[in-house]
């Protein structure tokens, strides 16, 4: 005569996974399934800062469709910085898309003694940004998007000023990145 297994986690078909519903998952416990999510495992090569999240609306027949647009700056604080825009149906999705885009558009910032090597004034769209090297110990003397980009790029001392009346964080960020890119080109010469 055959003996039945006495293991409470095994089902009548003696399959691994337990629960009695076809092997994996679906039940309480048992072997198999997805390992628990570990936030620390994700590589944190870059630090990210969300500049702004806006709800954008598209008018369609029968109503309005809402999406979220996120503007994100990423940087490793060692001279690499990037900016990305992402749209998604929820905030988390739009931030993830923006981070992915920012990783594709990284620039290298020339850092000399914790500051930039030369002063520069740049216009991007309606935004005008002025960046100037600062003496050691001065800190980041800038506001808004210029401060965020400077911090994440690894600059310790810089003077930055948004000269235009543009309130667009996106244009101010792009103007700052354009200025840092031009400094990198001029510093190579």
CATH assignment of the domain containing 61: 3.30.160.20
Query: Judging by DSSP bridges, how do beta strands 140-141 and 158-162 pair with one another?
Result: parallel
Q: Is residue 25 part of a domain?
A: no
Q: Which letter, b or e, does each residue of 117-142 get, where b requires 16 or more Cβ atoms within 10 Å of its Cβ?
A: eeebebebeebbbbbbbbeeeeebeb
Residue 15 has pLDDT above 80, yes or no: no
- Host domain of residue 68: 43-107
Task: Among 81, 107, 133, give the residue marking a domain's end.
Answer: 107
Please report the pLDDT score of residue 44 as a whole number.
81
CATH number of the domain that residue 155 is part of: 3.30.230.10
CA distances from 131 to 80, 153, 154, 177, 181 (A): 17, 14, 15, 11, 12
Separation between Cα atoms, residue 171 and residue 128, nearest integer Å = 9
The answer to whether 22 and 30 are in contact (CB under 8 A) is: no
116 plus 182 within the same structural domain: yes
Q: If pLDDT is split at 50, 70 and 90, which confidence band does 187 have?
A: confident
100 plus 122 within the same structural domain: no
Residue 23 has pLDDT above 60, yes or no: no
Q: Is residue 27 part of a domain?
A: no
Residue 19 has pLDDT above 90, yes or no: no
- The DSSP result for the chain, as a single string, is -PPPP--TT--TT--TT-SSSSSSSSSSS-S-SPPPP-GGGS---SEEEEEEEEEEEEEETTEEEEEEEEEEEEE-SSSEEEEEEEEESSHHHHHHHHHHHHHHTEEEPP-BTTB-SS-EEEEETTEEEEEEE--TT--EE--HHHHHHHHHHT-SSEEEEE-S----HHHHHHHHHHHHHHHHHHHH-
User: What average pLDDT does range 64-88 have in this prediction?
Assistant: 96
113 plus 179 within the same structural domain: yes
- Phi, psi dihedrals of residue 160, rounded to the nearest 5°: -135, 145
122 plus 136 within the same structural domain: yes
Q: Is residue 2 part of a domain?
A: no
Q: Is residue 14 part of a domain?
A: no
72 plus 55 within the same structural domain: yes
The answer to whether 70 and 55 are in contact (CB under 8 A) is: no
Task: Among 107, 123, 158, give the residue marking a domain's end.
Answer: 107
56 plus 114 within the same structural domain: no
Q: If pLDDT is split at 50, 70 and 90, which confidence band does 1 have?
A: low
Q: Is residue 36 part of a domain?
A: no
Give the mean pLDDT of the chain: 86
Residue 84 has pLDDT above 80, yes or no: yes
Instruction: Give me the number of domains the chain comprises.
Output: 2
Please write the tens of the pLDDT for every residue from 27-70. 565 555 666 555 554 558 899 999 999 999 999 999 999 999 99
119 plus 79 within the same structural domain: no
pTM of the full structure:
0.75
Question: Residue with structure tokens 């490793």?
Answer: 76
Please report the pLDDT score of residue 107 as a whole number.
95
126 plus 142 within the same structural domain: yes
Q: Is residue 50 part of a domain?
A: yes
Task: Among 61, 85, 107, give the residue marking a domain's end.
Answer: 107
């Amino acid at each position: 005569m055959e003996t039945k297994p006495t293991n409470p986690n095994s089902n009548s078909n003696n399959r691994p996974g337990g629960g009695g519903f076809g092997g994996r998952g679906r039940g309480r416990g048992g072997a198999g399934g997805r390992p628990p999510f570990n936030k620390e495992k994700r590589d944190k090569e870059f630090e990210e800062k969300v500049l702004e999240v806006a709800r954008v609306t598209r008018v369609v027949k029968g109503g309005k469709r809402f999406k979220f647009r996120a503007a994100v700056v990423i940087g490793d604080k060692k001279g690499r910085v990037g900016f990305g825009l992402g749209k998604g149906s929820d905030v988390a999705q739009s931030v993830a898309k923006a981070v992915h885009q920012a990783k594709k558009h990284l620039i290298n910032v020339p850092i000399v003694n914790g500051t930039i090597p030369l002063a520069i004034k740049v216009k991007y769209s309606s935004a005008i940004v002025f960046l100037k090297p600062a003496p050691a110990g001065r800190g980041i003397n800038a506001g808004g998007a210029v401060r965020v980009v400077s911090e994440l790029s690894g600059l310790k001392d810089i003077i930055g000023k948004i000269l235009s009346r543009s309130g667009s964080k996106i244009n101010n960020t792009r103007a700052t990145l354009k200025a840092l890119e031009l400094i990198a080109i001029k510093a190579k010469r």
